[in-house]
Amino acid sequence: MYLRIVLSKHPSITHSLAIEEKRAPAPSSMTSFDDATTTTTTMLVSRALVRRGSMVTMRTSATTTTRAVRGTVAVTRAASTYGRPERIARVKGNDGGASRVGEELELRGWARSVRTQKGMAFIDLNDGSAVSGMQAVVNEGSAAWETANSGSVSTGAALRVKGRLVASPGGKQAAELAVDELEVIGAADAETYPLQKKRHTLEYLRSIAHLRPRTNTIGAVARVRNQLAYATHKFFQENGFLYANTPIITASDCEGAGEQFQVTTLLNGFDAAAAATPEAVAAAEAAAKEQGEVVKAVKEAKKAGDASKEDVDSAVAKLLSLKAEAEALAGAAGSASLPKKDDGSIDYSQDFFGKPSYLTVSGQLNGEIMACAVNDIYTFGPTFRAENSNTSRHLAEFWMVEPELAFADLKDDMDCAEAYLKYCLNHVLENCDEDLAFFEKNVSKDNLRERLRSVATQEFARITYTEAVDYILNAKKKFEFPIEWGADLQSEHERYITEEVFKDRPVIVRDYPKDIKAFYMRLNDDNKTVAAMDVLVPRVGELMGGSQREERLDVLERRIEENGLEKESYWWYLDLRRYGSQPHAGFGLGFERLVCYVTGVENIRDAIPFPRYPGSAEF
């Protein structure tokens, strides 16, 4: 078998790739119909950026012939064409669009600002693909001039513009669009549009979360978040991890903290039940009884010829409606209390899942199931915590990246965490330079990119928890929270370790006291610490944490009991230790915290499009 690959380039940015594959005929002794005797495949892939107005067209054609499977079957795949409107970020590229001057373009987006002066209209058009938009210029006398001056082209309006890209005479941009066609797709009332061209506080923008993605800051956060998510999948896929989807509803408390949102249907209709007071039931029954007398009277009137059949039908229909209402109220009144057991506790056997159930705080336990069957896996999904906290570091709904490594110990776990973080940082440094420059200037107001590059290129220091405590105790500075062995490290302690002790170097702290860590972490030989680790970075402190999992059945059972949990709820988790147990490890990364770290955004509520926190579940 051989592959012949030819790559050609053309100034019009056309790349063609020809691949020819040939396989020798199968030996004559192999007569199974599943074996192809001859396979010849010729594929021509033309990655031509065919510009038709605003469309970027990707063409792929493939022809497969002469495959012998119980005869000869010829398969022809027709060329398929798919394209989306041109995006401003693609037009501008790395040179602001200078290399594409002279091209006819069609763009769609929203007007950030509109101004008219000296027979010219200037529209700052942005489609969300980049921080900076495209300046669209409408000259007096052009076909678009009437629309530009109609009053409908205002800040916030959705527009379609078409014209020629020309070199910009101004110094703020390399190119601008000389508009020939202008269409208002969706108007916006300039008087009431909330996002006028001025600086808005992030607090205010949270109150209009349906519009805030149109702002520079939140739009840039969204793009960086997108690239971090892409890098996450790319890293794990390139390293052979299987992407696993774990359940959102669970009967287990992974962290053992008890701060979970409960899921139940026992309260369904509870408001109606509360409204079904004895007085309301009695009134409904009295109304039905009174209507019953009306029906009797109408029937008698019909016999006397003083009422019609329609009169009787109408009275009966009203009676039936009143009876149904009375019965519904009476039934609701009977369900006004939750089902109880003999001891007075709630009987969850009558609930939807037959037991107390919650929104998950982690996909880790389910991830372990998958890792103990298909090897290395990772999960990436929403998790929830009912922690009544209004700090800038907490959300009620957040996303977690949680890999699980089979046949692995704590060192493997630390190696994976370090490699993953470096991969993500290098990816955004390469692909989000304009957005990171914006954050440097307007948000973090420091050398953000250099700080990220430093973390991405340095080897992480590794110390034990005991060593970390010694560093803090010997520090020549006072901390708000005193430290002693056995206490959890606070953010100020973590930052002191990374920023001062190790001079702005990432640090992994390992072997924490067992009493401050979860039950599933592997107990060390000293019987005092567990094989846990936290990754600390400058300016933030802890960014992710993980552990080697306890693979010994007897030790895990004891740890569950010590933490006051019920073994019966974890019978399946214990089974993993009964059947083919093996060392495995993993870590968790709060995705929004990574977004905050990379962008410099201080409040985690601005790192996710629609934040959920105490008192806020709008949008």
CA of residue 287 relative to chain centroid, distance: 54
> How many residues appear in the chain?
619
Query: If pLDDT is split at 50, 70 and 90, which confidence band does 333 have?
Result: low
| 9 pLDDT higher than 90 | no
The CATH number for 164's domain is 2.40.50.140
Question: What total number of domains does the chain contain?
Answer: 4
Query: If pLDDT is split at 50, 70 and 90, which confidence band does 419 have?
Result: very high
Token pair recorded at residue 467: 């060593």
Nearest to 396 by CA among 384, 379, 382: 384
User: DSSP H helical segments within 458-584, as ranges?
Assistant: 465-473, 491-495, 553-562, 571-578
Same domain, 97 and 76: no
Same domain, 319 and 405: no
**What is the C-alpha separation between 462 and 545, in angstroms, rounded?**
13
Report the percent of the chain where pLDDT is more than 90.
73
Residue where a domain terminates, one of 149, 183, 198: 198
**Residue 207 domain flag:** no
Burial class (CB in 10 A: 0-12, 13-18, 19+), 95: exposed
- Mean per-residue pLDDT for 387-412? 94
User: DSSP H helical segments within 25-97, as ranges?
Assistant: 88-92
Nearest to 468 by CA among 487, 449, 448: 487
**Residue 405 domain flag:** yes
**What is the C-alpha separation between 503 and 174, in angstroms, rounded?**
41
Same domain, 459 and 493: yes
Query: If pLDDT is split at 50, 70 and 90, which confidence band does 53 have?
Result: very low
Query: If pLDDT is split at 50, 70 and 90, which confidence band does 170 have?
Result: confident
Tens digits of residue pLDDT in 516-527: 999 999 999 999
**Residue 559 domain flag:** yes
- Mean per-residue pLDDT for 99-111? 97
Weakest mean pLDDT among 67-76, 117-126, 453-462, 594-603: 67-76
- For every residue of 303-349, DSSP letters joined together read HTTSS-HHHHHHHHHHHHHHHHHHHHHHHHHHTSS--B-TTSSB-GG
β-pairing, 249-250 vs 262-263, is unpaired
| 79 pLDDT higher than 50 | yes
542 and 597 in contact (C-beta within 8 Å)? no
410-431 vs 216-238: helix crossing angle, rounded to 10: 130
Same domain, 378 and 301: no
339 and 264 in contact (C-beta within 8 Å)? no
- Mean per-residue pLDDT for 198-217? 94
Token pair recorded at residue 328: 């519904």
Same domain, 438 and 563: yes
pLDDT of residue 44: 34
- Partners of 243 in beta bridges: 378
**Residue 352 domain flag:** no
Same domain, 375 and 464: yes
CA of residue 37 relative to chain centroid, distance: 47
Same domain, 297 and 417: no
Same domain, 115 and 164: yes
Query: If pLDDT is split at 50, 70 and 90, which confidence band does 115 have?
Result: very high
Burial class (CB in 10 A: 0-12, 13-18, 19+), 102: exposed
**Residue 185 domain flag:** yes
The CATH number for 595's domain is 3.30.930.10
Same domain, 62 and 144: no
Same domain, 297 and 188: no
Residue where a domain terminates, one of 183, 198, 213: 198
**Residue 588 domain flag:** yes
- Find tokens 């899921």 and name the residue: 263
| Sheet order of strands, 14-23 included | 2-8, 14-23, 39-52, 55-68, 72-82
Nearest to 435 by CA among 592, 229, 223: 223
**What is the C-alpha separation between 79 and 54, in angstroms, rounded?**
21
Same domain, 245 and 377: yes
406 and 376 in contact (C-beta within 8 Å)? yes
Show the domain range for 6: 2-82
Same domain, 375 and 423: yes
- Mean per-residue pLDDT for 54-76? 41
* Single pTM value for the model: 0.79
- Partners of 463 in beta bridges: 509
Residue where a domain terminates, one of 60, 82, 104: 82
CA of residue 189 relative to chain centroid, distance: 32
pLDDT of residue 458: 95
Weakest mean pLDDT among 277-281, 451-455, 498-502, 549-553: 277-281
pLDDT of residue 336: 59
| 258 pLDDT higher than 60 | no
Nearest to 399 by CA among 421, 378, 369, 419: 378
134 and 96 in contact (C-beta within 8 Å)? no
User: For 231-256, b where at least 16 C-beta lie within 10 A, e where not — what string?
Assistant: bbeebbeeeebeebebeeebbbbbbb
User: DSSP H helical segments within 359-447, as ranges?
Assistant: 364-374, 410-431, 433-439
**Residue 611 domain flag:** no
| 29 pLDDT higher than 60 | no
Token pair recorded at residue 252: 């287990």
Query: If pLDDT is split at 50, 70 and 90, which confidence band does 18 have?
Result: very low
- For every residue of 229-254, DSSP letters joined together read HHHHHHHHHHTTPEE-PPPSEES--S
Query: If pLDDT is split at 50, 70 and 90, which confidence band does 488 have?
Result: very high
**Residue 47 domain flag:** yes
To the nearest whole number, what is the mean pLDDT of the chain?
A: 86
